[in-house]
Every structure is written in C-alpha cells, then in structure tokens.
A and B are shown apart, each in its own frame.
Chain A
Amino acid sequence: MDTQTSTIATDSKALDRLITERVDALLDLRLEAKLAALKAARTPSMTIIATKGTLDWAYPPFILSSTAAALGWDVSIFFTFYGLELLKKDLSGLHVSPLGNPAMPMKMPFGPEWFRSLRWNIPNAMQSVIPGFEAFATTMMKKTIKNNGVAPIAELRGLCIEAGVNLIGCQMTVDLFGYKRDDFIPDVKDYVGAATFLPMAKDADVSLFI
C-alpha cells in the first residue's frame, strides 16, 4: 500500500465516522419531532367488552363510550354474554338485584333527608323470599337515577349511536342464548367473533372488560 492510498483510506474512515455521528444526532432530533407529530395527529381509540346485562352495570360501557366519542375518540363496544341485553330494542327489562350484591347501597329515593340517608341492610335470606323484591329495588334505583339527573340507559345508548360508537354483538352468545337478530336494535354494526374483536383491541389505546 502506498502512502497516498493509505491517507485516503484513513480520511474515508474518519469521514464515515463523522457522517454516522451526524446522522445519529439528526435522527434522534427528527424522530422525536416526527413521533410527537404522529401522536398529535392520531385519533385515540377505545374498545370495551360489555358482559353484564343488569341496570347498574349497563352504565359504565355507555357512559365511557359516549364520553370518549365526545372527546373525539374512535370507540367500539363488543357485547357478549349478558351484555347482549343492552342491545335489545326494549331496555325496560333491565333489572338490578341487591341479592348477593352486598356493596349496593339500599337507600330510599324519597322522603325527608334523614329517611333518605338510612341504609337498609336487608339480609339476603329475606331478599330472596320476599316476592317482587328485585322489582322493588329496580324501581327504587330508577327513581334514584332520575332524581340525580343521570340519563336513562336508552338515552345514553342513543347518544352513543349518534356519536358513531360501533356497537358489535358476539355471534356465539347470540346463538348460545337463542336470541334473534330481530331482538336487537338495527344500529348494531356487526355480529362477529373473538377473532374479529381482538385485532381491534390490540390497536386500541384503551381496552376495558366490563
């Protein structure tokens, strides 16, 4: 190797190192800016699995979904098992049972303040034998909901639909419980299985099981 070639090789190596250093530094800077821009432009998304079909548990999926939609998020709810009850045309059948539900406050939604603040601890054994106890508790819950300016489920569901929340039914549980598609509101976007839902959940920023 003559002197000239050796100098060129050394220069070239030094140049390579300089280029690499410079590119690394620029890349870090640009990448940060690019990621921030991508994050800002991205629409957040949420997927919910709704599995409960009682009046009390009907609230969380619809409250969170309608609110997320108002924040501009893409939202999908996958209704499975008893959650399918929440897709029925007629929601008046939603009940709440205090039986085996020890955390549920049993308070009267009427009467003077002292009476309303009483907590009625009725033993499960009694709840289970008093005819119409569940219907009574449901009526009381509905009254409490109304007194507090909380929206009825049908209204919240309507707001979700209006805001473009995707309502999806689980085909397997529709068949399992012998529902007919005609039992459900026509706004249900699709009836699918776990394999369709999971990829949606994978890409969502928030994924909840309710």
Chain B
Amino acid sequence: MNFDKELDARGLSCPLPILKTKKSLNDLTSGQVLKVVATDPGSIKDMQAFANQTGNELLSSSEENKTYVFYMKKK
C-alpha cells in the first residue's frame, strides 16, 4: 500500500503509539496516508478506536510476528 509518511512506534507502550500517530498525522494533509509500525498488542484495538473517534480512516491493520502495521488516512 502506498503511504506518505512512516512512523516507527516499535517498543513503545500505551499510550505512546497513539500520541505519536496523532502527532504524525498533524504533519500530513487531508487524504494522505500514514503507515504506523508498532509492537504494542493493545494498539490493534486502540488504533481502531482512535480512528473512530477522530474521523481518520484506518485503511488496514495487520499483524506479522508480533509486529502490527497500520495504514491511516488523514481526514
């Protein structure tokens, strides 16, 4: 999937992946896509909840070897 910016949130625990995602989205313009890589297992549910609350679109979320990859499209 194409993306405009990547955030490496590996090794960070709640709530840092969410806070850094929010910060990274600030640097993007509407419609651009942020890729987030995280290792916090809580981030799967939290990223979805963040997207629901903020109106940014979670395009996909996947897991591989305990690493979680999210693609978030800025509102």
Q: Which of A67, A72, A148 is within 8 Å of B15, CB to CB?
A: A67
B11, B19, B22 pick with most chain A CB within 10 angstroms: B19
- Contacts A72-B53, A72-B54 given; indicate if A67 touches B13 (C-beta within 8 A): no
- Flag if A149 contacts B16 (CB, 8 Å): yes
Cβ–Cβ < 8 Å partners of A159 in chain B:
19
Q: Which of B15, B53, B54 is within 8 Å of A66, CB to CB?
A: B15
Cβ–Cβ < 8 Å partners of A70 in chain B:
15, 18-19, 21-22, 50, 54
Q: Which of B16, B39, B40, B50 is within 8 Å of A71, CB to CB?
A: B50
Cβ–Cβ < 8 Å partners of B50 in chain A:
70-71
Q: Which residue of B lies closest to A44 (CB)?
A: B53
Q: Does B14 contact A (CB under 8 A)?
A: yes
Q: Does B59 contact A (CB under 8 A)?
A: no
- Closest Cβ of chain A to B44, distance in Å, is 16
B13, B40, B54 pick with most chain A CB within 10 angstroms: B13
- Closest Cβ of chain A to B27, distance in Å, is 14
- Flag if B15 contacts A149 (CB, 8 Å): no
- Flag if A149 contacts B53 (CB, 8 Å): no
- Contacts A70-B22, A159-B19 given; indicate if A63 touches B54 (C-beta within 8 A): no
Cβ–Cβ < 8 Å partners of B39 in chain A:
149
CA distance A151 to B15 in the complex (A): 9
Q: Which residue of A lies closest to B17 (CB)?
A: A149
- Closest Cβ of chain B to A158, distance in Å, is 11
In this complex, how many residues of chain B approach chain A with their Cβ under 8 Å: the count is 15
- Contacts A72-B53, A72-B54 given; indicate if A67 touches B11 (C-beta within 8 A): no
- Flag if B12 contacts A66 (CB, 8 Å): no
- What class of interface size applies to chain A in its complex with B? 10 to 19
Q: Which of A71, A148, A150, A163 is within 8 Å of B53, CB to CB?
A: A71
- Flag if A151 contacts B16 (CB, 8 Å): yes
CA distance A66 to B16 in the complex (A): 9
Chain B positions 1-43 with a Cβ under 8 Å from a chain A Cβ? 11-16, 18-19, 21-22, 39-40
Cβ–Cβ < 8 Å partners of B18 in chain A:
67, 70
- Flag if A148 contacts B54 (CB, 8 Å): no
- Closest Cβ of chain B to A37, distance in Å, is 15
CA distance A71 to B18 in the complex (A): 9
CA distance A72 to B49 in the complex (A): 12
- Closest Cβ of chain B to A153, distance in Å, is 13
A63, A66, A149, A163 pick with most chain B CB within 10 angstroms: A149
Chain A positions 123-181 with a Cβ under 8 Å from a chain B Cβ? 148-151, 159, 163
Cβ–Cβ < 8 Å partners of A148 in chain B:
13
Top 5 A-B pairs, shortest CB-CB distance: A70-B22, A67-B15, A71-B53, A149-B11, A149-B13
